[in-house]
Amino acid sequence: MKARYLYRIATMNRSRTRHNSGFSLIELIIVIAVLATLTAIAIPAFNNVARNARSTTAKTSLTNAYKECEVSRADTGNPVHTILANGGGVNYTGEAATATCNAAPLATATTSDNCAYTLNLNTGAKTVTGAQCAAW
């Protein structure tokens, strides 16, 4: 009788542990829903950070080229600047791709988001074209 009682207790414990281990389907669905929500929030935020970084790179590079033109114009009378290299989602055209500041003084930086930042290297006048582009 005692052996039968011990066997019964042992089998009850095994059946309980079998049902209590692991996660239920509803728990897994809730975890997946929470992860999907966090991902839906994080991806657009990351895209905005990347867009802002490209815009800042374009504007800073053009502004630096303008400042170089002003300094070299004051020092030597021959305004020149460092040639801006394409990369990082920004393409430079016009005077940004050459070292001169006089011929056609418009330097343009176009980001991969179709934002075009233009800077007149003689006057410092700035323009922006594009739907969702950050202002100067």
- Residue by residue, DSSP assigns 89-122 as TEEEEEGGGSSBSSSS-EEEEEETTS-EEEEETT
Angstrom distances, CA of residue 91 to CA of 6, 27, 44, 76: 80, 49, 24, 29
Please determine, for residue 15, whether its predicted confidence score (pLDDT) is greater than 60.
no
Q: State the average pLDDT over residues 21-46.
A: 93
Residue of higher predicted confidence among 136 and 33: 33
Three-class secondary structure of residue 76 per DSSP: helix
pLDDT, tens digit, for every residue of 43-74? 988 888 988 899 999 999 999 989 998 998 89
Q: State the average pLDDT over residues 123-132.
A: 89
> What residue spans define the domains of the chain?
34-129
Integer Cα distance of 90 and 114 in angstroms: 10
Residue carrying structure tokens 């996660």: 23
Report whether 84 contacts 65 (CB < 8 A). yes
**pTM for the structure as a whole:** 0.67
